Amino acid sequence: MIALIQRVSAAHVTVDNHQVGKIDAGLLVLLGIEKEDNTATAIKLAEKVVNYRVFSDEQGKMNLNLQQVAGELLVVSQFTLAAETQKGMRPSFSKGADPDTARELYYFFSDYCRQLGIKTENGQFAADMKVTLTNDGPVTFWLQC
């Protein structure tokens, strides 16, 4: 499972000009789910995302996590993160989970983040989404479990 996280001061997702998810300051999570992923993988990655220290403390160092700054999460499904790009000029998506499994793990990941006490919004799984964000930094990290 892959999470490309971006620290944002705000972000939202629209589908067909209808807003489906919106957050203020926090993290935008682009979530890619691979064939071998399961609920244990989702729990491990969710805990890493929530506890990853990417917010500045009083000295300006990245020492604070999402919970410590009362940040929010916007989780967007992003199957292209599972692409195999080493060969050729066209990505292969053979490493990606099947759509039913990916949908289940995507919502499980988000629900688990909510259980950890984080306000969590979602995009719409398998939709053509428009993601708007205001990067804070920019600060972007690739996390994988």
Catalytic annotation on 93?
Answer: no
Please state, in angstroms and rounded to a whole number, the distance separating the CA atoms of residues 124 and 54: 26
Please state, in angstroms and rounded to a whole number, the distance separating the CA atoms of residues 112 and 114: 5
**Secondary structure element (H or E) that encloses residue 45, with its range:** helix 39-51
Catalytic annotation on 141?
Answer: no
Catalytic annotation on 78?
Answer: yes
CA dihedral 56, 60, 61, 65 (to 10 degrees): -10
CA dihedral 83, 20, 41, 52 (to 10 degrees): 100
Q: State the pairing for strand pair 72-77/120-122.
A: parallel
Catalytic residue, candidates 19, 67, 68, 80: 80
Catalytic residue, candidates 6, 41, 55, 78: 78
Q: Which amino acid is at 120?
A: T
Q: Catalytic residue positions? A: 78-80
